[in-house]
Amino acid sequence: MTDSPSTAPSGPPATTNTGSFLHPKSPWPALWAMVIGFFMLLVDTTIVSVANPAIKAALDPDTNNFDNVVWVTSAYLLAYAVPLLITGRLGDRFGPKNIYLIGLATFTLASLWCGLSSTLEMLIVARAVQGLGAAFMTPQTMAVITRTFPPERRGAAMGLWGGTSGVAMLVGPLAGGFLVDGAGWEWIFFINVPVGIIGFVLAWMLVPRLETHSHRFDIPGVFLSAIALFLIVFGLQEGEKYDWGVIWGPISVWGLIIAGAVVLGVFLWYQSRTKSEPLVPMELFRDRNFSWSNITIAAVGFTVTAQSLPLMFFLQTGRGLTPTESALLLIPMAVAAGVLSPFAGKLLDRVDPRLMLVPGLTLVSIGLFLYAAMMNTETDVLWMLIPSAIIGIGNAGMWGPLATTATRNLPRHQAGAGAGIYNTTRTIGSVLGSAAIAVFMQSRIEAALPGASDMGASFGGGSLPDAVAGPFSDAMAQSMLLPAGFILLGVIAVLFLRRPKAVGRPHADAEPVIIAE
C-alpha cells in the first residue's frame, strides 16, 4: 500500500482546538511544548553518565568489571533504537501528538520505576522501558519540525532543537552531581516525574493534530532489525566478559556478532524487495544529503555516548572528584553549545551546511584528543575547561545543522519515516559506542592494571590508591582516543553533502498543514 495523504483544508489560516484551548496556526508553541520532553530525554542521558560510578558502587560493588553497569546505558539505548523505525511511522499514521504523549507517559512512569530499583538487574529492565518511551517520543519532535516549518525557516527551529541539547548538557551533569551527592543516585530518575507531568499537560494543550497518512506496518522488518541489533550489541557488550570465546554450548561471542551481521543483511535485502510498504523506504536514500547525514549521525551518536564513560570514571575514580565537581567541568561545553546553537541554526538557512559541519565535527575531535592528553594524575583538572569549551563550540555546529540537512528535502507524508530512520541511525551509533567503549576500557585497564584486584582497588566509586590511580588514568585516557578518532569518520562523510536547493529561498509549497480537531 502506498501513502495516501489526506487533503488539507483550503482557505484562511487554520486554528487548532487541542485540548480545551484555541491556538493560531503557528508552529512555535507546539515545538516549545515538545522541547520539554526532548530536554528531559537529553538530561536523563547526561545525568546517568555522571551517576554511573555511584550506581556501580551501590548496585554492583563486588567486581572491577564495567560490563554490568554499562548495561544501564546499553539497555536503554537498545530499547530506544529498535522501535524507532516503526514509531516514526506510527506518528505518520496516528498523529505525532498522540504517539508523543504515549511515549512521554511511558518514560515518566519508567523513571519512577528506575528510582525504586533495588538491584542492578531491576534498574536495567526499568531503563529498557524508559528507552521504549523515548523511542515513541523522539521521531515526533523532528517530524513536527519537518511538517510545520517551511524549509527556509527550518534551520531556526533546528537551532532551538540543537540549543536544547546544549542546555541539557549543563543541567544534566549539574543536576546529576547535586542529586547524587545530596540525595542519592535514585533521585536522578525521580526528578523526571514532575518534569514529565508538566511536559504532558503542555503538549496536550499546545501540540496540534496534523494530517495523518495511511501506512502498512512491516512487522517482519521490525523483528529482523530487532534480532540483528540485539545479536550484534549483546556480542560486543559481553565479549570481554567471556574473553571473546564461548558463551554457552556451541555459541561464541563472534558467532553472535556474525549472526547479527547476517540477519542485518537479510533485513536490508528484505527491505529492498518487499512489495508492501517497507519499514525503511529506500527511496529516501536517493536524497544524497539524507544518506550522508545518516552516516554522520551514526558517528556522532557513537562518539557522544562513548566519550562520557571514561571521562567520568577518570574524574571521579582516578582523580577523586565528586559528581558535582565533575559536572562543573562541563559548564563551558554546555554554555557554548546552548548559546551558539540558535545562531548556527539561523545561519544554516543561508549557507552551505558543510561550512558549519566540517569545523563543528573537527572541533569535537580536537577537544576529545585534548581530553586524552590531560587525563593523568599530574595535570590540574581546571585545564580540562579548555577542551570542554572547544567541544561545546563544535556541538553548536553539529546537532542542529546535521538534522536540518537530513530532513530539509523530506516529503511531508514521509516525515515520520525519515525522522525514525535518522534517529534509529543515531541511536544505533550510540548503542555501538556504549558497547565498544566498555570493551575498550576493560581491555585498557587489564593491560595497565593486571593485578588491580590484588591491590585492593575498587573502580565503583571514590579515589584510588596512589599505586593504581596513575595506570587507571592512563587507561581512561587511552579509551578516550576511540571516540576522538571515530568522529573523524563523520568529518569525511559530510564532505559528500550538497548545498540544498532550499537554502536562501522561500518555498511556497512548504507551508504547514494543520487540521482542526
Query: What local confidence, expressed as pLDDT, does residue 73 receive?
Result: 79
pLDDT tens, position by position, 429-459: 887 887 788 888 888 988 888 765 444 444 5
What is the distance between the alpha carbons of residues 468 and 26, in angstroms, rounded to a whole number? 58
DSSP assignment of 21-58? EEE-S-HHHHHHHHHHHHHHHHHHHHHHHHHHHHHHHH
Cell of 384: 580540562
pLDDT tens, position by position, 194-233: 989 999 999 898 887 777 666 666 778 888 888 887 888 7
Beta strands in 192-344 (DSSP E): 246-248, 251-252
User: What's the first-to-final CA gap in the chain, in angstroms?
Assistant: 26
Query: What local confidence, expressed as pLDDT, does residue 68 receive?
Result: 74
Closest among 407, 404, 402 to 419, alpha carbons compared: 407
pLDDT tens, position by position, 124-148: 999 999 999 998 998 888 778 777 7
Q: Which of 92-106, 406-420, 463-477, 480-494 has the highest mean pLDDT?
A: 480-494
What is the distance between the alpha carbons of residues 139 and 161, in angstroms, rounded to a whole number? 13
Spatial CB neighbours of 139, under 8 Å, sequence gap ≥ 6: 84, 87, 88, 91, 96, 416, 419, 420, 423
Residue 18 has pLDDT above 70, yes or no: no
Q: Are strands 16-18 and 251-252 parallel, antiparallel or unpaired?
A: unpaired
What is the distance between the alpha carbons of residues 300 and 492, in angstroms, rounded to a whole number? 12
Query: What local confidence, expressed as pLDDT, does residue 162 receive?
Result: 65
Q: How many CB atoms lie within 10 A of CB 385?
A: 15
Average of per-residue pLDDT across 392-396: 90
Closest among 363, 386, 392, 362 to 374, alpha carbons compared: 386
226: amino acid identity, one letter: A
Torsion of CA 242, 247, 250, 255, to 10 degrees: -70
Q: Between the CA of residue 208 and those of 164, 205, 328, what are the distances in Å?
A: 21, 8, 38
**For the chain, how many residues are written?**
517
Per-residue pLDDT band for 3 (boundaries 50, 70, 90) equals very low
Per-residue pLDDT band for 389 (boundaries 50, 70, 90) equals very high
Residue 2 has pLDDT above 70, yes or no: no
In percent, the amount of the chain with pLDDT more than 90 equals 28
What is the distance between the alpha carbons of residues 38 and 82, in angstroms, rounded to a whole number? 18
Per-residue pLDDT band for 36 (boundaries 50, 70, 90) equals confident
Cell of 182: 545530596
Cell of 496: 559528500
Q: How does 472-498 read in b/e, with b if 16+ C-beta sit within 10 Å?
A: bbbbbbbbbbbbbebbebbbebbeebe
Q: Are strands 246-248 and 251-252 parallel, antiparallel or unpaired?
A: antiparallel
Cell of 75: 539497555
Per-residue pLDDT band for 1 (boundaries 50, 70, 90) equals very low
Give, for 262, the enclosing helix (H) or strand (E).
Answer: helix 253-273
Of 278 and 104, more confident: 104
Give, for 163, the enclosing helix (H) or strand (E).
Answer: helix 151-182
Of 40 and 158, more confident: 40
Residue 507 has pLDDT above 50, yes or no: no
Spatial CB neighbours of 170, under 8 Å, sequence gap ≥ 6: 330, 331, 333, 334, 335, 338
Residue 14 has pLDDT above 60, yes or no: no
